[in-house]
Amino acid sequence: MNEISTYYSDQDDGMTATIYYHSPYNDALEYFIQYKRDGECFYTETFPGRSIYYVEDAAENWALGIKVLP
């Protein structure tokens, strides 16, 4: 798993969303976000078949408080 970028919550509460990718098949990349509170992962969201732009938008929307996790 390779880290791409990290987004920080606007609430200044120690919460982050870090985007990663891995390559389970030859050239295919799969992106996922690990949502963390004080460094501990509390939720992982996968994005099969989605572009990095889609995943970055999801992380940014979460950081801005637009996206609510289940």
- Of the listed ranges 2-6, 18-22, 27-31, 32-36, the least confidently predicted one is 27-31
Cβ-based neighbours of 7, under 8 Å, separated by 6 or more: 16, 17, 18, 19, 59, 60, 62, 63
Q: Is the pTM of this model over 0.85?
A: yes
**CB atoms inside a 10 Å sphere around CB 31:** 22
pLDDT greater at residue 67 or residue 24: 67
Q: 35, 6 in Cβ contact below 8 A?
A: no
Phi-psi category of residue 55: left, alpha or beta, with phi > 0 → left and psi -120 to 50 → alpha:
alpha
